[in-house]
Amino acid sequence: MENGVRVGVPVLLENAGETFDPALTPILNKSITRAGTRLTMRIDDQDVDYSEDFSLHIKTTLPNPHYTPEISIATTIINFKMIPAGLDEQLLAETVRIERPVLEAQRDSLIVQAAKDADDISKVEDDILKLLPSVTGSVLDNESVTQALDKSKEIAGEIKKRVQETKETTALINSTRNQYRDVSRRGSLIYFVIADMANADPMYQFSLAFFTNLFSKCIKECQKQKPPLPEGVAPSTEATSLHFNLLVDVITKTVFANVSRYRGIISTSEWRLFLLGTAPIKSTGSDEEEGGNKPSKMFSDLQKTEFIKDEQQTLINELEKIVVSKSGPGNTTKQTLPQEGIKFSIAQHGTQQWEEYINLPNPEDQGPPAPWNTKLNTLQQLILHRCLREERVAFSVRKIVEYIFGSIYSDLPPFDMKETFSSSDYATPVIFILSPGTDPAQIMHNFAAEKGASERLVVKSLGQGQGPVTEKLIERGKEQGLWVLLQNCHLCTSWMPSLDAIVEKLGSADSTSKISPDFRLFLTSILSKAFPVAVLQTSINITNEPPLGLQVNIQRSLASIQEHFDAHSRTDVQHRLLFGIGFFNAVVQERHKFGPLGWNIQYDWTLADLDVSREILLQYLGGYNEGDEDE
């Protein structure tokens, strides 16, 4: 920085946070001292010659940074954040470039030609203006001026003709390009939906580069699936429509898979993602299909009864503000539900029915008492569950997602460490986001043992003063091809900028030759805003949360011991015993919400406990002869 100030060259400060080093304060405030003809600036307790050619540019990757008034006053803040319309055009150009490369190349050439024509006109005008001061007498008698005017007239005529041709050609090109508008619009909508996930959970970070690369891969894959046509034969309207629908469907499914594939179970935040996505993606649909009732004031007349708690009533009273703010620009907010409100229904026509409905184990599987089972659409019933049975909201959201998108968006395969490892490389870390019931260290030890690489795995727990030791460990890992697992990164927030720099260097071209291709970096952390955004965007993020529901919990437990079902020649009795411990693990995970009720203390049952139980079971089974099993 001092050299830049002294020599007078632009300096770019990358990956800045929301606060800056105090050493930058004199540069930001331009605290310049003049001594005669000499300009100086005091930086880090020493006077440095200041060049007026110096400029400082600061770049941040934070999606929504908040700077202090002092920084905002001292700098010029430019927001380069992508907007939906801009991303729509960018994705449209990328789609047409892959699907119709000749068409997009023709459009690019027209843009270049238009810029060249504008430059030619400007050049001719400048030539004429330069000649005019030197003219003596009549302008029309000056041969140089008349030649310049004739040339400008000729060029203007050619350009006018080209402009007209360009307009006609551009109209035809845009007409063809707009056929792909639904594809680019879907991509733009999906990107901003997943970008909003950072507001719900700071660990959900997806860069625009990640998304555009994924989008391009989808288009290329669909392009390969198109049936070949004879030269000069255009595809039918039906075939074109099917292809466009395929593009939209593949993009949606691929993004979903890449957002969720490394998580083993859709978390509550991800259900929120898919619910947010239903609104813009289905915005062209009609509400009449599900009852036609607008959300405004739908529950403002719901009075308190004996089985509605105070906090539930407060939610109901504040519900209108939430619903109106989320209803979107296309919805009206003046319409209400029919005159016979829910309050009247509860108070006069079935208090017992409503109380029974609210106390159902799975109210989302059954509609509210008549006539509200037909009057409330799916989203309105979700809001009712949010008010009266908050713990069932995740299940209600899942039902909506399945209804709108299909079961493919809710039935995920269990977490697979093999797939995660194959998708990583030395420059792509794997981040385990910690949650109750998971033990990344045990997962890594089991996987390393399965791969025969236990000696490669090195585990380091971070904490105060562990930064320098960890950096040396990473350097050794890069040289020897180790698997470095850094636990509890959230306990060493002061070292996170160093981690950001280390991960950035892993992918730099000048360091790739010095890194063993077998090197892997694994990180664990709880949800933390201090975790570097750039690291999250370049990593594979795993949120292996305990699932919601006994069925998926059983699937998760059994998946972790699947190899022991397949290995050796197990008898039916042994299979039943293995299934029993898997079932027990699923049950205790499911009842985790009750805390220590029924136990001496609260305990986070993890897959490590399941592994220990399985080892003990196999040890006991190994001590029996085959004929003793019936005993």
pLDDT single digits (tens) 355-390: 788 788 888 888 788 777 777 777 777 777 777 777
Q: What are 101-129's pLDDT values in tens digits?
A: 888 888 888 888 888 888 887 887 777 77
Mean pLDDT of the chain, nearest integer:
76
Inter-residue contact 91 to 212 (CB < 8 Å): yes
Give mean pLDDT, residues 61-88: 86
Q: What are 225-279's pLDDT values in tens digits?
A: 776 666 665 677 788 888 888 898 889 888 887 777 645 444 555 555 555 555 5
> Among 53-57, 370-374, 500-504, 524-528, where is mean pLDDT lowest?
370-374
Count: domains in the chain: 5
Same-domain check for residues 526 and 612: no
Single-letter amino acid code for the residue at 590: E
Which pLDDT does position 264 carry in this prediction?
43
Same-domain check for residues 330 and 366: yes
Inter-residue contact 92 to 216 (CB < 8 Å): no
Same-domain check for residues 59 and 167: no
Same-domain check for residues 126 and 48: no
> Does residue 88 form part of some domain?
no
Cα separations in angstroms, 296 against 40, 276, 324, 334, 383? 63, 18, 6, 7, 12
Final residue of a structural domain among 210, 228, 260 = 260
Which pLDDT does position 339 carry in this prediction?
32
Same-domain check for residues 128 and 255: yes
Final residue of a structural domain among 354, 378, 409 = 409
Tokens of 437: 């019931």
**Got the DSSP string for 126-142?**
HHHHHHGGG--S-GGG-
Final residue of a structural domain among 525, 542, 559 = 542
**428 beta partners:** 425
Residue 375 makes CB contacts below 8 A (sequence gap 6+) with 291, 293, 337, 338
pTM: 0.66
Which pLDDT does position 156 carry in this prediction?
79
Single-letter amino acid code for the residue at 121: I
> Does residue 272 form part of some domain?
no
> Does residue 521 form part of some domain?
yes
Range of the domain at 317: 277-409
Same-domain check for residues 42 and 169: no
Q: How many CB atoms lie within 10 A of CB 604?
A: 14
pLDDT tier, 301 (very low <50, low <70, confident <90, very high otherwise): very low
Q: How many CB atoms lie within 10 A of CB 507?
A: 14
Which pLDDT does position 308 carry in this prediction?
44
Q: What is the CATH number of the domain that holds 455?
A: 3.40.50.300
Tell me which residue has tokens 């302008």.
Answer: 139
pLDDT tier, 10 (very low <50, low <70, confident <90, very high otherwise): very high
Give the strand order in the sheet containing 483-487: 457-461, 483-487, 520-525, 430-433, 540-542
> Does residue 218 form part of some domain?
yes
Cα separations in angstroms, 436 against 43, 206, 324, 590, 592? 48, 24, 35, 12, 9
Q: Give the ranges where 178-236 is alpha helix by DSSP (H).
A: 181-195, 197-200, 208-225
> Does residue 353 form part of some domain?
yes
Give mean pLDDT, residues 523-552: 79
Same-domain check for residues 151 and 168: yes
Percent of the chain past pLDDT 70, that is, above it, reads 76
Q: What angle do CA 427, 429, 14 make, to 5 degrees?
A: 70
* Nearest Cα to Cα of residue 542 among 373, 419, 450, 408: 419
Same-domain check for residues 192 and 334: no
Q: What are 148-199's pLDDT values in tens digits?
A: 777 777 877 888 888 888 888 888 888 888 899 999 999 998 898 888 777 7
Same-domain check for residues 108 and 255: yes
Give mean pLDDT, residues 493-503: 89
Q: What is the CA radius of gyration of the chain?
A: 32
Query: String of b and e for 91-104 (b: at least 16 CB within 10 Å)?
Result: bbbbbbbbbbeeeb
Q: What are 443-492's pLDDT values in tens digits?
A: 899 899 888 889 999 999 988 888 889 999 999 999 999 999 999 998 88
Q: What are 551-588's pLDDT values in tens digits?
A: 777 777 777 666 666 555 567 777 888 888 888 888 88
Element spanning 47, H or E: strand 46-49
Is the alpha carbon torsion for 366, 370, 374, 379 positive or negative?
negative
Q: What are 406-420's pLDDT values in tens digits?
A: 777 766 666 778 888
What's the CA gap between 501 and 503, in Å, rounded?
6
